[in-house]
Amino acid sequence: MTKIEAKLEDIEKVAKINIGKNLKYYILTMGCQLNENDSEKLCGMIEKMNYTKTENLNDADLIVFNTCCVRENAEDRLFGKLGEVKKYKEEKGTIIAIGGCMMQEKHIVEKLKESYPFFDIVFGTHTLHKFPTDLYKIINNRKRIEDILDIDGEVIEGLPISREDNVKASVTIMNGCNNFCSYCIVPYVRGRERSRMPKDILTEIKNLAKMGYKEITLLGQNVNSYLRVEKEKNIEFEEYEGVNSFATLLQAINKIDGIERIRFISPHPKDFTDDVIEAICNCQKVCKLVHLPLQSGSTNVLKQMNRKYTKEQYLSLVKKMKAKIPNVTFSTDIIVGFPGETEEDFEDTLDVVRKVGFEQVYMFIYSRRVGTPGDKMENQIPEEIKHERFDRLKQLVESQIEARNKEYLGTIQKVLIEGKSKNNDNMLTGRTDSNKVVVLEGTESLIGKIVLVKITSEHMWYLKGKEES
Ligand code: 5AD
Ligand code: SF4
């Protein structure tokens, strides 16, 4: 029996036990899209085991927390939630499972055992596929299970998946990270870089296209080094439809009928090779919004962060892409208050923001992560300075976004309609190629279609428009 067959057998076993019991599950997902994609796989398995989803903690017979550990606030959130669910456990024996990146940190699992010992299952980022087996054991003998294992574990293909959306789908193309940026915990919790095989990825995307999905976001901690480690270490992989690199992967997906848009997060600036720039340019379905994490605009800070590029190299990469890719736009991630960041360093960050003119900036206050080199640095920045810099960056970013929004007024944009607007049932919502949210009037029949929309008004976080007839 293959590994996946064994797992599917465990799913069947739990499904049989649960049949006719009208059981419900609640899931909370923290963190990035990679984690959301893992949660979609968890939901796929859980639903096959005869649980239906509920948004209410107190209705649930199974509660799952899929955690993140990139920044400290997620920890506070998890501990708060655990305080909240303790009573359900005591009152009606709700099964409590905690998984994801935070569970790969020893000190967190220790704290859980000490302060929140009522949980049933702890699972890591590479033991997702074992969830049905763990659940089966818990249902049968209620002994707590820890299934965390090594972080470089094999990724099992073919698990069921219950996707959040009908138009857009995320596809993880690689797991782990080899970069060791000095602020980041990810390499310690998600292990070494390994790529999924081209055939598995392309088959998944072709199936998504058949199911009617229009937009694919390729996910990975370092997407543009797809298959690089395999090549460097002579690890055998099977080329499929000419795919042997990130650029060739983009080209192959671009040929899949039914898929209209391709996005990817996140690339690393140091690995942004010319073949990838060419592929973005030549593949008509690849969106021209490039997410290019800056982290800091200061060469000194970048060096301390172990990012392996300078301010000038980042700016010249942007310049090259602006010259080669018509209508290219950029989004980015920035951390303020990294240890040793001086006022001058911070000014460099503002300078890059002014020069590039990002479409969107995800801003973070530096958060010390146990086990990373950044945590051991002596020149930590006081909280009030970090916050003051964050506010200044936010002001600049918002003024730039406002100015950019104005440039959209009167233009005609290709908008992929994603669904009904959350705030108004009579309106539809969609996104431009540059990932701007657009709200417009229209019928449900437009959902999943790319529509030409004239932008009529702008607001900070969305644009309004009218369908062009
Ligand atoms: N503190 C603050 N932000 C962080 N990020 C990663 N680690 C930290 C940290 N320790 C941010 C980076 C990354 C994004 C996903 O989260 O900007 O690109
Ligand atoms: Fe995603 Fe990283 Fe958070 Fe894990 S730790 S959920 S990989 S951001």
Residue 160 lies in a domain: no
User: Are 403 and 421 in a shared domain?
Assistant: no
Residues lining ligand 1, Cβ inside 6 A: 32, 70-71, 183-184, 293, 295, 333, 335, 364, 366-367, 369
- Same domain? For 9 and 141 the reply is yes
Ligand 1 atom closest to Cα of residue 293 = 18
Residue 34: CB within 6 Å of ligand 2? Answer: yes
Question: What pLDDT shows up at residue 195?
Answer: 95
pLDDT of residue 1: 60
365 is a domain residue = yes
CATH number for the domain harbouring residue 77: 3.40.50.12160
Number of domains in the chain: 4
pLDDT at 153: 65
Same domain, 222 and 92: no
Two tokens at 29? 């997902």
Out of 287, 317, 344, a domain closes at 287
Query: In this structure, is residue 338 part of a structural domain?
Result: yes
Q: Cα(101) to centroid of ligand 2, in Å?
A: 6
Same domain, 202 and 338: no
Residue 154 lies in a domain: no
- Picking from 206, 252, 207, the residue whose alpha carbon sits closest to that of residue 226 is 252
Ligand 2 centre and the CA of 307: distance in Å?
18
Instruction: Give pLDDT, residue 152.
Output: 64
Ligand nearest the Cα of residue 191 is 2
Q: Is 177 in the pocket of ligand 2 (CB under 6 A)?
A: no
Q: Does 353 share its domain with 325?
A: yes
Closest ligand to residue 108's CA: 2
Whether residues 310 and 294 share a domain: the answer is yes
Domain range for residue 431?
412-467
Is residue 93, in this structure, part of any structural domain at all?
yes
Tens digits of per-residue pLDDT, 117-160? 999 999 988 788 889 999 999 999 877 777 776 666 667 777 88
Domain match, 117 and 16 both? yes
Same domain for 136 and 226, yes or no, is: no
What pLDDT shows up at residue 236? 87
| Residues 391 and 422 grouped into a single domain | no
Instruction: Choose one of 36, 332, 335 to mutate for the ligand 1 pocket test, by most ligand atoms within 8 angstroms of C-beta.
Output: 335
For the chain, list residues with pLDDT below 70: 1-3, 6, 149-154
Atom of ligand 2 nearest to the CA of 125: 4
Question: According to the model, what pLDDT value does residue 11 have?
Answer: 94
Query: Which domain-ending residue is among 266, 287, 308?
Result: 287
Enter the pTM of the model.
0.92
Residue nearest to atom 8 of ligand 2 (CA): 32
Final residue of a domain: which of 363, 381, 407?
407
3-state DSSP of the chain:
CCHHHHHHHHHHHHHHHHCCCCEEEEEEECCCHHHHHHHHHHHHHHHHCCEEECCCHHHCCEEEEEECCCCCHHHHHHHHHHHHHHHHHHHHCCEEEEEEHHHHCHHHHHHHHHHCCCCCEEECCCCHHHHHHHHHHHHHHCCCEEECCCCCCCCCCCCCCCCCCCCEEEEECEECCCCCCCCCCHHHHHCCCEECCHHHHHHHHHHHHHCCCCEEEEECCCHHHCCHHHHHCCCCCCCECCECCHHHHHHHHHCCCCCCEEEEECCCHHHCCHHHHHHHHHCCCECCEEECCCECCCHHHHHHHCCCCCHHHHHHHHHHHHHHCCCCEEEEEEEECCCCCCHHHHHHHHHHHHHHCCCEEEEEECCCCCCCHHHHCCCCCCHHHHHHHHHHHHHHHHHHHHHHHHHHCCCEEEEEEEEECCCCCCEEEEECCCCCEEEEECCHHHCCCEEEEEEEEECCCCEEEEECC
Q: Does 283 lie in the same domain as 293?
A: no
Q: Ligand 2 in contact with 67 (CB < 6 A)?
A: no
